[in-house]
Amino acid sequence: MQDYISRDLNPNVIHHIDAYRLEDLEEALDIGILDYLDDDAWTFIEWPELLESVLPDRRIDLEIRILPNSAREIVFLKR
C-alpha cells in the first residue's frame, strides 16, 4: 500500500493498494485494509477480487480490457 498527496483533489490523500501481493483476506485485515477503506480518501485497488467481501457497496469499479491490436478499453461500473 502506498499513499500519495494531491494538491488538486479534495480530499487530498490517495491510497493505492496492490492486492495482487496479498496472500489472503486475513493478511489484508492484519495490515489494516479496513482503515484504508473507512476514510474519506480516494482509494484505488489493483486486483480487488480478494477484497470483494470487505469493499464498500458504494464505489466505482474500473475494468481495463485488452482489445485486438493491444488497444485498451476502460469500463466504469458504478455499484
Cell of 66: 485488452
The predicted-structure confidence for 58-76, as pLDDT tens digits, reads as follows 899 999 999 999 999 999 9
- What was the pLDDT predicted at 1? 85
- pLDDT band per the 50, 70, 90 thresholds, residue 10: confident
- Mean pLDDT across the chain, nearest whole number? 91
Q: Name the pLDDT band for 79 (thresholds 50, 70, 90).
A: confident
Question: Rounded to the nearest 5°, which phi and psi values hold at 22?
Answer: -85, 140
Spatial neighbors of 64 by CB under 8 A, at least 6 apart, are 72, 73, 74, 75
Domains of the chain are 2-78 (3.40.50.300)
User: How many whole angstroms separate alpha carbon 21 and alpha carbon 73?
Assistant: 25
Banded model confidence at residue 9, pLDDT cuts 50, 70, 90:
confident
CA-to-CA separations, 22 to 28, 38, 46, in angstroms, rounded:
7, 19, 11
Per DSSP, the three-state class of 1 is: coil
Angle at 25 between CA 21 and CA 58, to 5 degrees: 100
